[in-house]
Structure 1
Amino acid sequence: MEDMNALLEPGMLVQHPDRPDWGTGQVQSNIGGRITVNFREEGKVTIDGTRVFLVPVFDASS
């Protein structure tokens, strides 16, 4: 299966599958598999996209 994180672009909303307490985050950048996300409850986090597969959020009320 192709890397779905590669499709994430700045402005998209995501959730961390192992950290639902962080809330919904907005992708800030996605460069070379390193994804920077600003989460509502955790703040800015840089994620290794080869280890964590972020879940896109299409309903902003989540």
Structure 2
Amino acid sequence: MKDDLNAMLEPGQLVRHPTQMEWGTGQVQSNINGKLTVMFLQQGKVVIDSSRVALLPVYD
């Protein structure tokens, strides 16, 4: 398996997609076997392949 770029992310954490900033802030729903499910404010639920995209943590 390729590197999991989002291994440290847990449900409830806030993130942004590095190339889809118009999606707004997303909240991690699950992080299982390199598949990250995130609910974005402007885009809805998206499944991210953690071997391809490193999400950006948001700290309020």
TM-score by length of 1: 0.89
- Distance, in Å, in 1 between the alignment partners of 2:32 and 2:52 is 15
Structure richer in helix, relative to its length? 1
After TM superposition, the structure 1 = structure 2 runs for residues 49-60 of structure 1, keeping only pairs within 5 Å, are 49-59=50-60
Q: Once the two structures are aligned, what percentage of the paired residues are identical?
A: 62
The structural deviation recorded for 1:3 is 4.5
**CA pair 32-3 structure 1, distance change in 2 beyond 3 A:** closer
Flag the structure with more relative contact order, 1 or 2, with Cα contacts below 8 A and sequence separation at least 6: 2
Say yes or no: does 1:48 pair with 2:49.
yes
Gap runs ≥5 in structure 2: none
The 4+ residue runs of structure 1 with deviation greater than 2 A are none
